[in-house]
């Protein structure tokens, strides 16, 4: 070590105000840092390999289901319905229903995988980094704490959005290739499903400013699970016209609107089914496909904004 290497003031910089746009640059630096972390720590690599396996298996399932549908009994599934609809139309409808059931299961799995990755990677982005001493040297740089939180959120959000969009897009594409079923509103559906990632990540952001990583992970995972069950309760309420059950479903979807978006996404993927047959699909766990109303959509976009604002406020007061 040679102290003379650092000659007097030759690296000194003008000590005026920070350059305009520096906050945006800092936020993007932190978002890029998050991507790099995902790549270097091989989260992205492992995620990609296993997702590839998942998509390939899904494709194989689709291939077998639709190339050997006769032996699967898809065409004979509803003997009683034959009187209602012409043979050919029934055959097409059954293919569509089978394709939709497969697709909704696939999308559900993609969501679960995303939630799992989110829980493992983002739950400690504030509390975990503060505990292990990574955060302190970053926070003492000339950036507001909310820049740090926004940068990290942006980084994780772009990872999970990209993941959900690509995987859901692949599932829709594969389903169409094997079954010929084209969902009515695939782009809208993929958008709503991907929006779940922003909601859950916002929940994680609030959690991690006040809770340790493990508790944040539990909050997000349980929050997601509760929202799902709330959706099922609401679905049962709808089927039985039970207002209390419906109300419970509605309240839960205000607290964590992820399931609402999932069902909204399914609505964009579901084939139009004659009312007489709708019960077949509606009784299943993914049967509550229902559109997201305009006000609820606004709520879902507002949710991450409000949650992040709260997280930034909590973070700004936190002792590190």
Partner 1 sequence: MTEANAQAALDCRDIRKRFHSTVALQGITLAVPRGSIFGFLGPNGAGKSTLVKILTGLVHPDSGGVTVLGNKPGSRAAQRDIGYLPEHFRFPGWLTATELLGFHGRLLGVPVDTDRLLGLVGLTEAADRRVAELSKGMQQRLGLAQALVGEPELVFLDEPTSALDPLGRIDVRDVLVHLKERGTTVFLNSHLLTEVEKICDRVAVIDRGSVVAMGSMDELLQGPAARIEVGALAPEMVDTAVRALAAAGAGGGSYQSGVLTVPVASRDDLPRVVVTIVGLGIPVYEAGLVRRSLEDAFVQLVREHESGRSEGVA
Cα 71 to Cα 81: distance, rounded to the nearest angstrom: 19
Specify the residue, 22 or 250, whose C-beta has the smaller distance to partner 1.
Answer: 22
Specify the residue, 47 or 231, whose C-beta has the smaller distance to partner 1.
Answer: 47
Query: Which of 115, 143, 266, 270 is the binder for partner 1 (CB under 8 A)?
Result: 143
Specify the residue, 65 or 149, whose C-beta has the smaller distance to partner 1.
Answer: 149
Query: Which of 4, 71, 241, 275 is the binder for partner 1 (CB under 8 A)?
Result: 4
Specify the residue, 5 or 87, whose C-beta has the smaller distance to partner 1.
Answer: 5
Specify the residue, 9 or 243, whose C-beta has the smaller distance to partner 1.
Answer: 9
Specify the residue, 4 or 275, whose C-beta has the smaller distance to partner 1.
Answer: 4
Specify the residue, 13 or 243, whose C-beta has the smaller distance to partner 1.
Answer: 13
Site residues (CB under 8 A) for partner 1, limited to 28-47: 29-30, 33, 36-37, 40-41
Query: Which of 67, 76, 82, 141 is the binder for partner 1 (CB under 8 A)?
Result: 141
**Angle 302-263-188 (CA atoms, 0-180°, nearest 5)?**
70
Q: Does 26 bind partner 1 (CB under 8 A)?
A: yes
Smallest distance, Å, CB 286 to partner 1? 38
Q: Does 24 bind partner 1 (CB under 8 A)?
A: no
Q: Does 243 bind partner 1 (CB under 8 A)?
A: no
Q: Are 206 and 314 in contact (CB under 8 A)?
A: yes
Specify the residue, 147 or 263, whose C-beta has the smaller distance to partner 1.
Answer: 147
Choose one: 22-30, 154-162, 263-271, 299-307; the region binding partner 1 (CB under 8 A).
Answer: 22-30
Q: Does 18 bind partner 1 (CB under 8 A)?
A: yes
Q: Does 8 bind partner 1 (CB under 8 A)?
A: yes
Q: Does 138 bind partner 1 (CB under 8 A)?
A: yes
Q: Does 20 bind partner 1 (CB under 8 A)?
A: no
Give the number of residues in contact with partner 1, rule: CB under 8 A: 39
- Cα–Cα distances in angstroms (integers) from residue 231 to residues 78, 227, 236, 270, 300, in the given order: 28, 6, 9, 17, 15
Exposure of 22 by Cβ count < 10 A (0-12 exposed, 13-18 middle, 19+ buried)? Answer: middle
Specify the residue, 10 or 87, whose C-beta has the smaller distance to partner 1.
Answer: 10
Smallest distance, Å, CB 221 to partner 1? 25
Query: Which of 71, 137, 241, 272 is the binder for partner 1 (CB under 8 A)?
Result: 137
Cα 202 to Cα 200: distance, rounded to the nearest angstrom: 5
| DSSP track, the chain | --GGGS-TTTT----SSPPTTHHHHHHHHHHHHHHHHHHHTTHHHHHHHHHHHHHHHHHHHHHHHHHSHHHHTTTTTTGGGGGTS-HHHHHHHHHHHHHHHHHHHHHHHHHHHHHHHHHHHHTTTTHHHHHHTSSHHHHTSSS-HHHHHHHHHHHHHHHHHHHHHHHHHHHHHHHHHHH----SSHHHHHHHHHHHHHHHHHHHHHHHHHS-HHHHHHHHHHHHHHHHHHHHHHHHHHHHT-HHHHHHHHHHHHH-THHHHHHHHHHHHPPP--GGGHHHHHTSTT----PPPHHHHHHHHHHHHHHHHHHHHHHHH---
Q: Does 19 bind partner 1 (CB under 8 A)?
A: yes
Residue ranges binding partner 1 (CB under 8 A): 1-6, 8-9, 11-13, 15, 18-19, 22, 25-26, 29-30, 33, 36-37, 40-41, 132-134, 136-144, 317, 319-320
């Amino acid at each position: 070590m040679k102290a003379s290497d650092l000659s007097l003031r030759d690296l000194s910089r003008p000590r005026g105000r920070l350059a305009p746009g520096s906050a945006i640059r800092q936020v993007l630096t932190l978002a890029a840092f998050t991507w790099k972390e995902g790549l270097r720590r091989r989260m992205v690599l492992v995620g990609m390999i296993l997702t590839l396996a998942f998509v390939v298996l899904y494709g194989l399932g689709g291939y077998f289901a639709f190339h050997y549908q006769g032996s699967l009994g898809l065409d004979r599934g509803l003997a009683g319905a034959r009187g209602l609809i012409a043979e050919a139309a029934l055959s097409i409808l059954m293919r569509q229903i089978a394709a939709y059931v497969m697709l909704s299961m696939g999308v559900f799995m993609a969501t679960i995988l995303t939630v799992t990755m989110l829980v493992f990677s983002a739950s400690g982005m504030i509390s975990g980094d503060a505990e292990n001493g990574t955060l302190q040297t970053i926070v003492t740089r000339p950036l507001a704490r909310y820049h740090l939180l926004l940068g990290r959120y942006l980084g994780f959000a772009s990872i999970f959005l990209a993941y959900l969009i690509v995987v859901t897009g692949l599932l829709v594409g594969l389903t169409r290739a094997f079954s010929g079923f084209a969902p009515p509103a695939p782009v809208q559906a993929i958008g709503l499903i991907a929006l779940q990632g922003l909601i859950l990540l916002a929940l994680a952001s609030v959690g991690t400013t006040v809770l340790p990583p493990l508790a944040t992970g539990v909050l997000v995972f349980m929050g997601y699970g509760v929202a799902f069950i709330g959706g099922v309760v609401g679905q049962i309420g709808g089927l039985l016209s039970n207002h209390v059950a419906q109300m419970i479903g509605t309240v839960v979807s205000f607290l964590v609107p992820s399931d609402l978006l999932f069902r909204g996404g399914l609505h964009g993927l579901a084939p139009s089914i004659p009312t007489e047959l709708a019960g077949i699909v509606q009784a299943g766990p993914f049967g509550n496909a229902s559109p997201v109303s305009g006000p609820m959509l606004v709520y879902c976009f507002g949710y991450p904004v409000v949650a992040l604002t709260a997280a930034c406020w909590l973070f700004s007061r936190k002792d590190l």
